[in-house]
Amino acid sequence: MMTSTGRPTKVSIVEVAPRDGLQNEQSQVPSVAKVRFIDMLSAAGCQMVEATSFVKLDIVPQLADADEVFPVIRKAPGAHYPVLVPTLRGLERALAVDAKEIALVTAASESFANANLHRTVADSLVDVRNLVSEARRARLWVRVYVSVAFVCPFEGRIIPDRVRSICEQLLQVGPDEICLADTVGAATPREVELLLDALLSLAPPEMWAMHFHDTRGTALANVMTSLAHGIHIFDSAAGGLGGCPFAGPGALGNLATEDLVYLLDGLGISHGIDLERLMDASRFISRAIGHPLPSRVFRAGGKPKTIRVTTR
C-alpha cells in the first residue's frame, strides 16, 4: 500500500540494539539484563528483534552468552528473533537453540571483507551460499547483510555497480531479504538514490532492508529517500545504542528506533511500536550499560507533551 505521497503506509522495523548495539559496548552487560531488555522491546511492540550473534566467543565477547540468552527470551506471538550467524559452527549453535531466523554477512569492499570477515568478497559469497543451503534444509528464514554498501572506512565511496554485482550473486543464492548497511554512517540521500536506482531493477522493494547508522546525522534523511523508493524495512536500535569501531571515538552509532518511530508517526506510517514503552526499554538498558543514550527523541522525552500519540 502506498499513500498519495508515494510512501508506504506501513513499515517493518528491525530492532538491532541487542546485537548491533550491545556488541559495541565497552562493558559486559549481564545476560539477565539482555534478556529483560529484549523482553521489554517485545512488550513495546517490536516484531523483529535481532537478538544476538553466534559469533566465535573470542571475537565478540559481549555476545558470548548467546547460547544462554536466546532460549530464555520470551518469544512474543507473531514476533521474530533473528540471530547473526557468521559461520557453519554459528549456524549449528543457532539451530541448537531453535532459532527460526538467521542473518548472514558479506561486504561490498575487499578491504572491509578482509578486516571484518577475514575473507575475500568472493569467498564470503561462497560462505553465504553454503550457509543459505544449510539454512534452507532447516527451513530457516534468511537475511544477508551487505556491509559498507555505501562507504568503506578503508576504500571510501563504493560505487553502486559494485553493490549491484554482489546483490545479483546473492539473489541467485535466494535469501529472503538483503540488508544494505551504511556501516560507517556516511551515506547521504544522493548515495541512497543512486544505489536503490541500481538495485530496484534486480528485485522489488520487499527484498531490501536499509541499515543506516546516524554517525553524521543523515539516517532519517536517508530513510525519507528510501521510503520514496518504496522501501519499507528499516533497521534501528533502541536509544541509538551502538557505534562502529571504525567511526572514531566520539562518533555515534545506529539510527535510534525512537527517532525513526517519531518520524514515521509524523508521516502517518504505521509500524506497531509504542514509543513510551520503547523508551522504557531504552531507560532500562541505559542504566545497565551505565551511560546515556544518544537518541534525540529519547533525550527530549518523546513527543512534545501537547501532541497526542495518534498511531495504534
User: Which spans of this chain sit near a second copy (rule: CB under 8 A)?
Assistant: 5, 151-157, 184-191, 193, 214-218, 220-221, 223-225, 247-248, 250-252, 256, 259, 262-263, 265-268, 292, 295-297, 299-301, 303-304, 306-308
Q: CB of 310: closest distance to a second copy in angstroms?
A: 10
Selecting among 46, 152, 179, 244, the annotated active-site residue is 244
Measured from the CB of residue 252, what is the shortest distance to a second copy in angstroms? 6
Minimum CB distance to a second copy smaller for 106 or for 286: 286
Do 155 and 162 form a contact (C-beta atoms < 8 A)? Answer: no
Q: How far is the CB of 140 from a second copy (least distance, A)?
A: 34
Can you list the positions of beta strands (E) in the chain? 12-15, 52-53, 83-84, 101-107, 141-147, 151-152, 156-157, 177-182, 208-212, 233-236
Beta strands at 233-236 and 208-212: parallel, antiparallel or unpaired: parallel
As measured in angstroms, the least distance from the Cβ of 242 to a second copy is 14
- 114: which residues sit within 8 A by CB, 6+ positions away? 120
Beta bridge partners of 48: 80
Quick check: is 46 catalytic? no
Residues 64-89 as b or e (16 or more Cβ within 10 Å = b): bbbeebbeebebbeebbbbbbbbbee
Distance from C-alpha of 81 to C-alpha of 83, rounded to nearest angstrom: 7
User: C-beta of 248: minimal distance to a second copy in Å?
Assistant: 5
DSSP H or E segment with residue 69: helix 66-72
The Cα–Cα gap between 72 and 94 comes to 13
Q: For a second copy, which is the closer residue by CB, 52 or 257?
A: 257
**Cβ nearer to a second copy, comparing 52 with 183:** 183
**Residue corresponding to grid cell 543514550:** 293
Nearer to a second copy, 172 or 306 (CB): 306
Q: Which is nearer to a second copy, 155 or 176 (CB)?
A: 155
Catalytic positions, please?
Answer: 244
